[in-house]
Amino acid sequence: MATVELQHVTKRFGDVLAVNDLNLKIKDQEFLVFVGPSGCGKTTALRMVAGLEQQSGGNIYIGDRLVNDVAPKDRDIAMVFQNYALYPHMNVEQNLAFGLKLRHVGKAEIKRRIDGAAQILALGHLLKRRPRELSGGQRQRVAVGRAIVREPAAFLMDEPLSNLDAKLRIQTRAEIQKLHQRIRTTTIYVTHDQVEAMTMGERIAVMHDGILQQLDTPEALYERPANLFVAGFIGSPAMNFFKGKIVGTPDAPLVDVGLFSVAVPSPQRAAASRALGSEVVYGVRPEHMFVRDGSSPEGVTVEAKVEVVEYLGYEEQVYCSLDSTSFNVRLPAQMRTHVGGRIPLTIPKDRGHVFDAKTEQALAA
């Protein structure tokens, strides 16, 4: 087990800057997720840690060892590939044993490790089957098994669940989490799915265009997104944004978005006081708005027109408009919102986020 550290790591493919000055340290035993939209450089970053891609600049450490010039096989990491990359001509047992045999692990030890992995992953009855005789989920477990038996310093997983159907993905997600709680091997997990990232990551590195946007716990990403990109990327449906301006007094700054004015949430008040008059973007999550009733928290209330209602059983997703601005809210299903009607929506006082319109960064606390 070990830490993994990237210092100023950069990767260029011709003109494309796939990873741009990436700095981060994965703690020992940590489960860290790289998340970001397609093409943001997640896979490239992971492959550089594995040694399958040589970085254009920067240093990579696994444990205390600088591994820049260490061959993939000597980096003491195991990788789970998106398409599993099982050896098609070997049965499950041989797939698991291949890497161990080449590392001259003893026969008895190989058997012990395979039995262990088979038990953890429920592969016992599949050991003699070839990959093509397995279902997608079973192949995925074999791929994880092949990483486990190596007992490496770190696991690297590149979208290992993306080939599974929705239900199996959720189930396997939980299994991988359980597995990590049990063996606690340092893990870097790549996904483009923010739900997967939020549910699995102890910390999450959000990437965009090769640049690390924010590295934080799921709660922190949700509660205190560092910039507009993270705010829009984390959370589903995405946060609503309104363009506006800081007005009011230094003691009580407000964001004026034209249609309404709302108090700057308390953590950002000090920064807003120093920025009176500047252009900002005000963001509020769909799940944080309420239909006003007696017990609603303090905030500003607007009369919104209901455009579309998506009924989900446990809640409704309601697309609203305010003059020409549209946004959406999540409301309890029993609201029975009517399309075309008007509803009084309260934006609670401290639930918003204020971003500088030019730098797109959150106003500093």
Partner 1 sequence: MARASSERVMPAEAGRERASAAAPVPIVSRIGGAVGQLFEHEWVFGYTMIAPAILYIVLLVAYPFFVALRFTVTSASVSEPIASFVGLRNFVDIWNDDIFRRALINTFVFTISSQVIQAFLGTILAFLLLRPFRGRRVVRALFIIPFTVPVAIGAITWSWMLNPQYSVLNWVGSHIGLFPAPGPNWLGEEQLAMISVIVVNVWRGLPFTTILLMAGITAVPQEIIEAAALDAAGFFRRWNDIIVPIIAPILFIALLFSFVSQFTDMTVVWLLTRGNPVNTTHVLASYAFEVGIVSGDLGRGAAISLFLFPVLLVAAIVMLRYLKSQQLD
- Print the binding letters for residues 25-54 with Mg ion: x by CB under 5 A, - otherwise: ------------------x-----------
Q: Is 56 in the site for partner 1 (CB under 8 A)?
A: no
* Amino acid sitting at position 187: T
Task: Rule CB under 8 A: choose which of 4, 22, 32, 50 binds partner 1.
Answer: 50
DSSP 8-class letter at 227: B
Which amino acid is residue 38, in one-letter code?
A: S
89 binds partner 1 (CB under 8 A): yes
Task: Considering the complex, state which of residue 14 and residue 88 has its C-beta at the smaller distance from ligand ATP.
Answer: 14
Tell me the pairing of strands 16-26 and 4-13.
antiparallel
- Under the binding rule (CB under 6 A), the answer on residue 18 touching ligand ATP is yes
Element (H, E) at 154: strand 154-158
Q: Give the Cα separation of 199 and 294 in Å (integer).
A: 34
User: Residue 16 binds which one of Mg ion, partner 1, ligand ATP, none, with CB within 5 to 8 A depending on kind?
Assistant: ligand ATP
13 counts as binding partner 1 under rule CB under 8 A: no
Select 93 or 158, whichever has its Cβ closest to Mg ion: 158
* Cα angle 51-56-62, degrees, rounded to a multiple of 5: 40
DSSP 279: E
In the shown chain, the binding pattern of residues 23 to 62 toward ligand ATP, with x for contact by CB under 6 A and - for none, equals: -------------x-xxxxxxx------------------
Q: Which is nearer to ligand ATP, 118 or 190 (CB)?
A: 190
Binding residue for partner 1 (CB under 8 A) from 37, 99, 232, 348?
A: 99
Question: If binding is defined by CB under 8 A, does position 79 make contact with partner 1?
Answer: yes
Check whether the bond before 237 is cis (ω within 30° of 0): yes
| Interaction between residue 87 and partner 1 (CB under 8 A) | yes
- Give backbone dihedrals phi and psi of 137, rounded to 5 degrees, phi first: -65, -40
- Binder of residue 72, out of ligand ATP, Mg ion, partner 1, none (CB less than 5 to 8 A by kind): partner 1
By CB under 6 A, residue 185 contacts ligand ATP: no
From CA 255, how far away is CA 248, in angstroms rounded? Answer: 8
Nearer to Mg ion by C-beta: 43 or 194?
43
Minimum CB separation from partner 1 for residue 79, in Å? 6
Q: Using CA of residue 143, residue 148, residue 152, residue 154, what is the dihedral sign? A: positive
Written as six digits, the tokens of 95 are: 């797939």
Question: What separation in angstroms does the CA of 78 have from each of 143, 175, 194?
Answer: 10, 18, 24
Token readout for 49 is: 């840690």
**Residues in the chain, how many?**
365
Task: Tell me which residues touch partner 1 (CB under 8 A).
Answer: 50, 52, 72-73, 77-79, 81-83, 85-89, 98-99, 102-103, 146, 150
Task: Tell me which residues touch ligand ATP (CB under 6 A).
Answer: 13, 16, 18, 36, 38-44, 192
